[in-house]
Amino acid sequence: MVSILAQMGLLILCGVGWRIIRPGGLDADLVRRVLAALVFNLLMPALILSVLWKQPVGLDTLRVTAFGLAMIGLGLVSTWLLSRALPLDDRRLGAALLAAGFPNVTYFGLPLLEQLFGHDARLIVIQIDLFAATPAVLLLGPVIGRRYGEGQGGANGLAWLNNPPVWAALLGVLLNQSAPPAPSWLYHGLDRMAAAAVTLMLIALGLGLSAAAWQRRNLPWAALVVGLRLLAVPWLAVGLGQRMGFTGDTLTQLTLEAAMPSMLLGVVYCDRYRLDTGFYAMVVALTTLAAAFSLPYWQTAATR
């Protein structure tokens, strides 16, 4: 895994380097938004369609979805309980809930699991992302923002239906159940687009890491949230996965997804609802860096 993480780190550093050097005078945040839009609207739907059209979708999908929802719940509840013992202002608590509750299952998890376990691992990632993480963050993100933030925002509970990856997932499941396998030329074309998505995800992740997020006043609580996201939640997830009957590579993949760093999308909710954006960005940076040391441990722990 160390070699794979090093390869991923190189692509992330390319994004960080762009933020510092600004080739062609192009702003890093602008480039990140363009890459994210390309991945979200074209390459990710292609990846989802290629996987769900080909791979079997059934009872295991429900089990993986249930695990994903429980994993998110563990992060949210653990953070809320910690805040009862160590009082925290509302804006930072809202950001902490998002950071600890929602892992970067796709932009970091997909490249890692695909390198470790091959193309078949894409199915686990997509199931957790599309059927658990995406609906949960789009439904609960506004709830957390309105409860702990200062802005009113503009999201609604049905926002998750209005995006290309969800429609690609619905189409993929429909084709899986009622259509013949994809023609070879189409499947390989979708697969090439999916491979590009994985590379651009990591570069976009690096583009989103900013040194401006590092503030000493945020460090103590940021360290606690990092501990929850990278240690406590995956520890609970290992036991949960075993109780749900997962074994072997599937249990390892699910554990690694539970141990991923905080998602980047939370910055959007922090900005929209005036949560503590600087604190959230610092946690994203810290969890992304620290994951290089924690993930190899969880890969081993899941196989014991």
- What integer pLDDT is reported at residue 302 of this predicted model? 83
Looking at the structure, give the CATH architecture of the domain made up of residues 8-12+27-301.
Up-down Bundle (1.20)
Binned at pLDDT 50, 70 and 90, residue 287 comes out as very high
Residue 226 has pLDDT above 90, yes or no: yes
Residue written as token pair 């925290």: 88
Calpha distance 156→185 (Å, rounded):
39
Q: Is the pTM of this model over 0.85?
A: no
- What integer pLDDT is reported at residue 41 of this predicted model? 86
- What integer pLDDT is reported at residue 304 of this predicted model? 73
- What integer pLDDT is reported at residue 216 of this predicted model? 77
- What integer pLDDT is reported at residue 155 of this predicted model? 47
Residue 162 has pLDDT above 80, yes or no: no
Task: For residue range 11-48, list pLDDT tens digits in order.
Answer: 888 988 998 899 989 988 888 888 888 888 888 888 88
Among 1-5, 14-18, 52-56, 291-295, the least confident range: 52-56
> CB burial class (10 A; 0-12, 13-18, 19+) of residue 57?
buried
What do you get for the CA distance between the two ends of the chain, in Å? 17
